[in-house]
Chains A and B, each alone.
Chain A
Amino acid sequence: MKIYFERTGGFMGRSVSTVVDTDQLPPEESLSLLEKLDKADFFCLPTTVESGVKGVPGADRLCYKVTVEAAGVRHTVEASEEDAPEELCPLLDELTRLARLGGD
Chain B
Amino acid sequence: MNGHRHPLHCILPPYMQREIIENGTEEQRRQCLRNYVSAEAMRTQREIIAKEGPSDLTMGVVSAGLNRVIYTADNGSSLPGRQLRGEGGAPTGDPAADEAYDGAGATYDLFYDQYGRDSIDGNGMRIDSTVHYRVGYDNAFWNGRQMVYGDGDEDLPESQRLFNRFTIAVDIIGHELTHGVTQNTANLIYQGQAGALNESMSDVFGALVKQRLLGHTVIEADWIIGEGLFTSKVNGLGIRSMKEPGTAYNDPVLGKDPQPGHMRDFVQTTADNGGVHINSGIPNRAFYVAAYNLGGFAWEKAGQIWYLTLKSKLSESSTFAMAAAKTYEAAAELYGVGSLEQRAVRAGWAEVGIEIDAEPGTPEPPPNNGNARPGCGGSLMGLFRSLIGAD
- Interface residues of chain A, those whose CB is within 8 Å of chain B, are 8-15, 56-63, 82, 89, 96-97, 100-101, 103
Contact = CB atoms under 8 A, between A and B. Distances in A.
Contact of B190 (A14, A59, A62, A103): A59
Given A59-B198, A100-B136, A13 B277 contact: yes
A60 B140 contact: yes
Contact of A97 (B136, B198, B255): B136
A14 B141 contact: no
Nearest to B255: A14
Pick the 5 closest A-B CB pairs, nearest first.
A13-B277, A57-B144, A60-B141, A59-B179, A10-B139
A13 B272 contact: yes
B172 A82 contact: no
Contacts of B272: 8-9, 13, 15, 63
27 contacts: A8-B271, A9-B272, A10-B138, A10-B141, A11-B139, A11-B140, A11-B141, A11-B176, A12-B139, A12-B239, A12-B277, A13-B258, A13-B272, A13-B276, A13-B278, A14-B254, A14-B255, A15-B271, A57-B144, A58-B143, A58-B190, A59-B190, A59-B199, A59-B202, A60-B179, A82-B143, A100-B138
Contacts of A58: 141-144, 179, 190
Contact of B239 (A8, A11, A59): A11
B55 interface: no
Nearest to B239: A12
Given A56-B144, A59-B142, A103-B253, A11 B278 contact: no
B166 interface: yes
A15 B255 CA distance: 10
Given A8-B272, A15-B271, A59-B190, A100 B153 contact: yes
B145 to A, nearest CB: 8
Contacts of A101: 156, 160
Contacts, number: 79
Nearest to A80: B273
Interface residues on B, range: 35 or more
Interface in B120-165: 136, 138-144, 153, 155-156, 160
B280 to A, nearest CB: 8
B279 to A, nearest CB: 10
Given A57-B183, A58-B141, 12 more contacts: A11-B166, A11-B176, A12-B239, A14-B255, A57-B143, A59-B142, A60-B141, A62-B141, A63-B273, A97-B155, A100-B136, A100-B153
Contacts of B271: 8-9, 15
Interface in B214-243: 226, 239
Contacts of A61: 141, 143
Contacts of A89: 77
B260 interface: no
Nearest to A9: B272
B143 A62 contact: no
A4 B118 CA distance: 46
Contacts of A63: 272-273
B175 interface: yes
B275 A59 contact: no
A96 to B, nearest CB: 8
Contacts of B143: 57-58, 61, 82
A75 to B, nearest CB: 20
A8 B226 CA distance: 18
Which of B176, B202, B273 neighbours the largest number of chain A CB atoms within 10 Å of its CB? Answer: B273
Contacts of B139: 10-12, 60, 62
B156 A9 contact: no
Which of A10, A13, A60 neighbours the largest number of chain B CB atoms within 10 Å of its CB? Answer: A60
B331 to A, nearest CB: 27
A12 B258 CA distance: 10
A30 to B, nearest CB: 21
